[in-house]
Structure 1
Amino acid sequence: MNKTISINLGGFFFHIDEDAYQKLTRYFDAVKRSLSPEGRDEIIKDIESRIAELFQERMKNETQVIGLTEIDEVISIMGQPEDYRIDEDNSYSSKSTFTTSTSRTRRLYRDRDNSILGGVAAGFGHYFGIDPLWVRILFIISPFISFGTSVLIYLILWILIPEAITTSQKLEMRGEAINISNIEKKVKEGIGEISEKINNIDHEKVANTAKSGANQIATTIGDLFLAIFRGIAKVMGVFIIIFAAMSLLGIIIGGIVMMFTSSMPDTFIFNHVNTPFEINMPLWLQGLLLILSVGIPLLFFLLLGFKLLISNMRPVGNYFKIALLGIWLISIITLAYFGIKQATEKGYEGKTVHREEIALLANDTLYVKMTYNDFFTKNVRNREHGKYTHDENNNEIIYSNNVRLHLMKSETENAHIQIEKTANGKSHIDAKSYAEKINYNFEIQGNRVNLDNYFTTDFKNKFRDQEVDIYLYLPEGIYFYPEESVSKFLTNSNSDISMYYGEEDNLYQLKSKDLDCLSCPAELIETENDSLNENVIIKVNDKEVNIKLEENSLNIQTK
């Protein structure tokens, strides 16, 4: 049984058995011996960080012990010291045909070594394998095309894209394999550049002073913008957390209530729970889909808020995110299926029309009144757009006040009324069938018209956007007397005559397409001089009303 040793490698703790530890130690000793003193410490540090990264990729859990198998795999990737050499001209030459380097995916970093501002353009140049100059030209031109949004995009990228600091990150940025030879090569290239700059410092001192000052200013500005946007990001994170948490809680509570409410009678559900799918889709399924389709995006928003607020937050596992994404897609597809089905159920409109003449005598006044059934309500002004209930005979019905009154100009000298009942269905025939099953009543008694302010239909017909439209056709010059609550059901939609703006229980006369109030308080009636002193006699409530126009006054007498 081998002993287990705990080591700190590249800032990470690992458990490694004794044989593997000895082999790893011998490997590091061999690497150190093969390196020249120049830059050795930095090279060893980068090699340790790379080996620690490879160990982490192979660990399935935190308690796993690293053995000889993992050591051999890492050494095969990093390579043996005797398999390479760095010539004086910094070119790489292999001493043997054995190849230890492996290709690696190119990663996006900011290159501050070749930067003008934040190194974003240089990083994209390395990532796409193009000259950074073209990327910089694109960023310079784009503000004129995108109305300045590209500047904001550049600043956001500056914040989000990490800087390539270590040698391993710089190799990843260029898509080069991260092994011992490339690490040493990169470090020595950096040392060579520093030495060359020191040797040429006298010749370039003046030019580099300006460039150094510009870089320092750019770095300061960049750090300032970075600090500002980090602060903004944290504030946004707080708002996102509050919004997402409250919304997610509300969605979960609402979904659970819907799931448990599904056991209630249909009448209770329809009267107390409003959903886009009504009761054609099981309510428990609607609640579940509500939680999944809306709750999952809110959960990701919540995680995003925490990510903005906590920079070192542990990331969510990929399997968990993929599973949630799959569940969300299934819920969206299910909602789309039921949504299409729901739209099909109400895709067509059907209508029935009933017309009836209103016999009026000369100088008669047309009285119109909205009536109500006190079994369903105790006030004519109460409104219900759709309610499951029962009638006097205990029949289950749908009760609705979705009744509209349209005032129309008659082309003849006679008045008439037209009742149109409409409903929706999955076909024209189906929709018309639902319209025919609407129960609506009205009554004409001489010069009086009593209109129900409600309609009913059988419970089994469900709610199919049933409506009742009343078209009241009035001839020119007719006297019109609307009684209580008529104005509450009037509409200008599809109407010829503008709605009157006076109160009920006042006398109006139709002139052209306007209703002039003849008895409204403080009503000013303008007339031409040649029409003054004209007498008008009309009948109101079986009494004669004599309306006499005099200069600057209106005299009304009853007989």
Structure 2
Amino acid sequence: MNKTVNINLGGMIFHIDENAYLKLQNYLSAVKRSFAGASGEDEIIADIEARIAELFSNKMQNERQVIGINEVDEIINIMGQPEDYMVDEDIFDEVPKSNTYNNNKRKLYRDTNNKYVGGVSSGLGHYFGINPIIFRLLFFILTFPTGGVTILIYILLWVLIPEARTTAEKIAMTGDPINIENIEKKIREGFDSASETVKNVDYHKYGNKAQDGISKFFDALGSFFLKLIKVFGKLFGAFLVFIGITTLISLVIGLLTAGSFSVFGFDFSNQIELYDQTSQWPMWLVAISAFFAVGIPAFVIAYLGFKILIKNLRSIGNVTKIILSFVWFLSLIGLIGFGVKSAISTSSQAQVTIKEDLPVTKNDTLKIQMITNENFPTEMYRRGNEQFVYDESDVKHILAQDIRLIVKSTKDSIANIKIRKEAYGNNHQSAKQRALDIDYQYSLENNTLSLNNYLLASPEQKYNEQEVEVTLYLPEGMVMIADENTYYYHRNTDHYNDILENGDEGHYLEVLTGETKCLDCPEKDIHIEETENGRVIINENGLNINISEGDEKGKVIIDGNGIDIDVNNDEESVKVKIDENGIKIKKDND
């Protein structure tokens, strides 16, 4: 049994074995002795501790892991032995003796020490090993042809790329190994640069004045944009939390109340039974798959929102991430399989047609109406509206209101009705059987044709988009009147060649060839214009012009009978009529 110690290294808390702690403490003490009295001693030590903390953090798999002596040895091997880096004036001319680790992998940071605006170009220059002026010129030159898009890209990079603040980050930016030697070297360079600047302050004062002014301006501008983005970021994070938690709560309620939950009369348990085409798949399994397939992304969305709102939010851990990903993947595969199975079960379409004569002739007047059943929903709308219902004998049926009514003319002497039933299945035979299973009724009494506004199917067939199309063929010369309740059922496009127009309900219509003629519709004036000398009327019958000026009066009628002109004054009247028989001119005194 080994004793563990909690330490704070570089602002991070670690659990470390006592022996490992003693070795680490001796190492850091030796490092401090190596840099005793050196310029920037405190900064060097702080950066070394921060780098060691970073390396420890990368090696830990979870927060409870205890750092052992092996991990300390690996870190010391990477950082190097302190006795190899005793500070003297010739340190930069000697070859280091330590066994250091360098993967030469550069990291992208903003170099604010050599910036003009935000240090983006300097950071890109270090990362790609290119002179930063190349990137500065590219951002400037491409601003005009891209309409300012490069400015937005620069601002975005400014926000997304972190600034190289610590010495370790500045070393990582150049791809050099982050060890004691380079940390000490970088800090010494900073102090030497500051010393040179002080010695030559008069020479640099005016040379750097413009750069400092530009930097300050863009620093203020960047600070403003950063604050603005942070505000919107917090709002976006709160939005993600709201969406994720709301979705999770809805899913939990739906899962726990499945079978008894209904909204606006929509019974979920009945609907599942109504549409389930794959009875070999347990519906509880489908429900759980749907819960995880939607719930896990909702949880991730909420977690991301919390990450935006809370800086130090604990990670859910790699193990949890792997488990959630695996469960989500399985759930998604299950739902895809269920969807494919359901799609296959309705891949074929079939129909059956029944045609019967109606004992009405062209000399009769036929009334057409839709009727409901008091045991079933009575809404008079053409729609699917599929649901389970029970008849007066308490027998269960599937009900749908997908009924289409079409009226056409025929030259036959008697009327007839054609009923086309349609359904889907996993093959032609099953689809045809479902179409045959559709129960649709109509009746004819006293020249009144009553059509059911619904169809029935057996529950065993499930709902498979069953529908019924009723086509009436009426003899030319027959008079029909459609009830107002047929309006929604014959709202058809021109493709169906339906002679019953919407708006003609409740009127007596004479059936003609491919059309109807309203027998009791009032004349509809399309245009009426009143003038000082007369009146002009344009309606369905044609053009009617009445002239009245002084002692003279006249009338011009243009309609289906031809042209009729009547001119009147105090002395005589003249009539001119032009029709299929020719031209007739008549005076009253003739």
Interval containing the TM-score (normalised by the shorter chain): 0.7 to 0.9
State the partner residue of 1:365: 365
Q: Do the aligned partners of residues 320 and 22 (structure 1) sit closer, same or farther apart at CA in structure 2, a change above 3 Å counting?
A: closer
**Kindly, what percent of the aligned residue pairs are identical?**
39
Q: Does 1:398 align with 2:412?
A: no
Q: Distance in 2 between matches of 1:190 and 1:201?
A: 16
Q: Distance in 2 between matches of 1:141 and 1:284?
A: 62
State the partner residue of 1:507: 508
**Residue type at the aligned position of 1:342:** S
Q: Does 1:80 align with 2:94?
A: no
How far 1:511 moved relative to its partner?
6.1
Alignment deviations for residues 23-74 of structure 1 (CA, whole Å, 9 cap, x no partner)? 4444334333433622222111111222233344455666766554443332
**Residue type at the aligned position of 2:45:** I
Q: Do the aligned partners of residues 446 and 307 (structure 1) sit closer, same or farther apart at CA in structure 2, a change above 3 Å counting?
A: same
Q: Distance in 2 between matches of 1:172 and 1:277?
A: 59
Q: Do the aligned partners of residues 84 and 92 (structure 1) sit closer, same or farther apart at CA in structure 2, a change above 3 Å counting?
A: farther
Q: Distance in 2 between matches of 1:497 and 1:48?
A: 87
Q: Distance in 1 between matches of 2:413 and 2:426?
A: 41
How far 1:462 moved relative to its partner?
1.3
State the partner residue of 1:539: none
Q: Distance in 1 between matches of 2:470 and 2:100?
A: 88
Q: Do the aligned partners of residues 343 and 21 (structure 1) sit closer, same or farther apart at CA in structure 2, a change above 3 Å counting?
A: closer
**Contact between 1:164 and 1:170, CA under 8 Å: does it hold in 2?**
yes
Q: Does 1:271 align with 2:285?
A: no
State the partner residue of 1:294: 294
For 2:472, what is the secondary structure of its paired residue?
Answer: strand
Alignment deviations for residues 96-133 of structure 1 (CA, whole Å, 9 cap, x no partner)? 4x523343754333222233333334434444555545
How far 1:408 moved relative to its partner?
3.5
How far 1:499 moved relative to its partner?
5.4
**Contact between 2:16 and 2:68, CA under 8 Å: does it hold in 1?**
yes
**Contact between 2:363 and 2:477, CA under 8 Å: does it hold in 1?**
no
**Residue type at the aligned position of 1:214:** I
For 2:45, what is the secondary structure of its paired residue?
Answer: helix
Q: Do the aligned partners of residues 74 and 378 (structure 1) sit closer, same or farther apart at CA in structure 2, a change above 3 Å counting?
A: closer
Q: Do the aligned partners of residues 26 and 461 (structure 1) sit closer, same or farther apart at CA in structure 2, a change above 3 Å counting?
A: closer
Using the TM superposition, name which of 306-315 and 328-337 deviates more: 306-315
How far 1:293 moved relative to its partner?
0.9
How far 1:403 moved relative to its partner?
1.1
For 2:208, what is the secondary structure of its paired residue?
Answer: helix
**Contact between 1:237 and 1:306, CA under 8 Å: does it hold in 2?**
yes
State the partner residue of 1:321: 321
Q: Do the aligned partners of residues 5 and 445 (structure 1) sit closer, same or farther apart at CA in structure 2, a change above 3 Å counting?
A: closer
Q: Distance in 2 between matches of 1:166 and 1:389?
A: 74
Q: Distance in 2 between matches of 1:66 and 1:379?
A: 74
**Contact between 2:421 and 2:468, CA under 8 Å: does it hold in 1?**
yes
**Residue type at the aligned position of 2:243:** F
How far 1:244 moved relative to its partner?
2.0
Q: Distance in 1 between matches of 2:133 and 2:181?
A: 30
Using the TM superposition, name which of 282-291 and 502-511 deviates more: 502-511
State the partner residue of 1:464: 464
- Could you tell me which runs of 5 or more consecutive residues in structure 1 were left unpaired when the two chains were aligned: 534-559
Using the TM superposition, name which of 43-52 and 217-226 deviates more: 43-52
For 1:230, what is the secondary structure of its paired residue?
Answer: helix
How far 1:13 moved relative to its partner?
4.5
**Contact between 1:86 and 1:185, CA under 8 Å: does it hold in 2?**
no
Q: How does 1:486-525 map to 2 (within 5 A)?
A: 486-493=486-493, 494-497=495-498, 500-502=501-503, 504-510=505-511, 515=516, 517-519=518-520
Q: Distance in 2 between matches of 1:235 and 1:384?
A: 42
**Contact between 1:270 and 1:387, CA under 8 Å: does it hold in 2?**
no
Q: Distance in 2 between matches of 1:45 and 1:275?
A: 69
Using the TM superposition, name which of 218-227 and 355-364 deviates more: 355-364
Q: Distance in 2 between matches of 1:350 and 1:145?
A: 60
Q: Distance in 2 between matches of 1:2 and 1:316?
A: 28
State the partner residue of 1:42: 43
State the partner residue of 2:210: 210
State the partner residue of 2:541: 527
How far 1:305 moved relative to its partner?
1.3
For 2:248, what is the secondary structure of its paired residue?
Answer: helix
Q: Distance in 2 between matches of 1:171 and 1:486?
A: 82
Q: Do the aligned partners of residues 153 and 447 (structure 1) sit closer, same or farther apart at CA in structure 2, a change above 3 Å counting?
A: farther
Q: Is the radius of gyration larger for structure 1 or structure 2?
A: 2
**Contact between 1:254 and 1:287, CA under 8 Å: does it hold in 2?**
no
Tell me the TM-score normalized by structure 1. Answer: 0.81
Q: Does 1:332 align with 2:332?
A: yes
**Residue type at the aligned position of 2:270:** N
For 1:101, what is the secondary structure of its paired residue?
Answer: coil
For 2:385, what is the secondary structure of its paired residue?
Answer: coil
**Contact between 1:381 and 1:488, CA under 8 Å: does it hold in 2?**
yes
Q: How does 1:5-20 map to 2 (within 5 A)?
A: 7-14=7-14, 20=20
Q: Do the aligned partners of residues 469 and 109 (structure 1) sit closer, same or farther apart at CA in structure 2, a change above 3 Å counting?
A: same
- Could you tell me which runs of 5 or more consecutive residues in structure 2 were left unpaired when the two chains were aligned: 526-538, 543-556, 562-590
**Contact between 1:359 and 1:446, CA under 8 Å: does it hold in 2?**
no
Q: Does 1:436 align with 2:436?
A: yes
Q: Do the aligned partners of residues 255 and 412 (structure 1) sit closer, same or farther apart at CA in structure 2, a change above 3 Å counting?
A: same
Q: Do the aligned partners of residues 199 and 293 (structure 1) sit closer, same or farther apart at CA in structure 2, a change above 3 Å counting?
A: same
Alignment deviations for residues 338-362 of structure 1 (CA, whole Å, 9 cap, x no partner)? 1111111111211112233446544
For 1:164, what is the secondary structure of its paired residue?
Answer: coil
For 1:472, what is the secondary structure of its paired residue?
Answer: strand
Q: Do the aligned partners of residues 145 and 349 (structure 1) sit closer, same or farther apart at CA in structure 2, a change above 3 Å counting?
A: farther
Using the TM superposition, name which of 200-209 and 78-87 deviates more: 78-87
**Contact between 1:365 and 1:480, CA under 8 Å: does it hold in 2?**
yes
Tell me the TM-score normalized by structure 2. Answer: 0.77
State the partner residue of 1:311: 311
How far 1:456 moved relative to its partner?
1.6
State the partner residue of 1:28: 28
Using the TM superposition, name which of 56-65 and 30-39 deviates more: 56-65
**Residue type at the aligned position of 1:500:** E
Using the TM superposition, name which of 413-422 and 53-62 deviates more: 53-62
**Residue type at the aligned position of 1:506:** H
State the partner residue of 2:55: 54
**Residue type at the aligned position of 1:420:** R
**Contact between 2:362 and 2:479, CA under 8 Å: does it hold in 1?**
no
Report how many aligned residue pairs link the two structures: 528
State the partner residue of 1:163: 163
For 2:257, what is the secondary structure of its paired residue?
Answer: helix
How far 1:502 moved relative to its partner?
3.4
For 2:39, what is the secondary structure of its paired residue?
Answer: coil
Q: Do the aligned partners of residues 377 and 324 (structure 1) sit closer, same or farther apart at CA in structure 2, a change above 3 Å counting?
A: closer
Using the TM superposition, name which of 53-62 and 206-215 deviates more: 53-62
For 1:386, what is the secondary structure of its paired residue?
Answer: strand
How far 1:380 moved relative to its partner?
6.1
Q: How does 1:251-270 map to 2 (within 5 A)?
A: 251-258=251-258
State the partner residue of 1:549: none
Q: Distance in 1 between matches of 2:435 and 2:515?
A: 32
**Contact between 1:110 and 1:120, CA under 8 Å: does it hold in 2?**
yes
How far 1:272 moved relative to its partner?
5.1
Q: How does 1:47-196 map to 2 (within 5 A)?
A: 47-58=48-59, 68-84=69-85, 91=92, 93-94=94-95, 96=97, 99-103=99-103, 105-133=105-133, 135-136=135-136, 151-152=151-152, 154-196=154-196
**Residue type at the aligned position of 1:527:** N
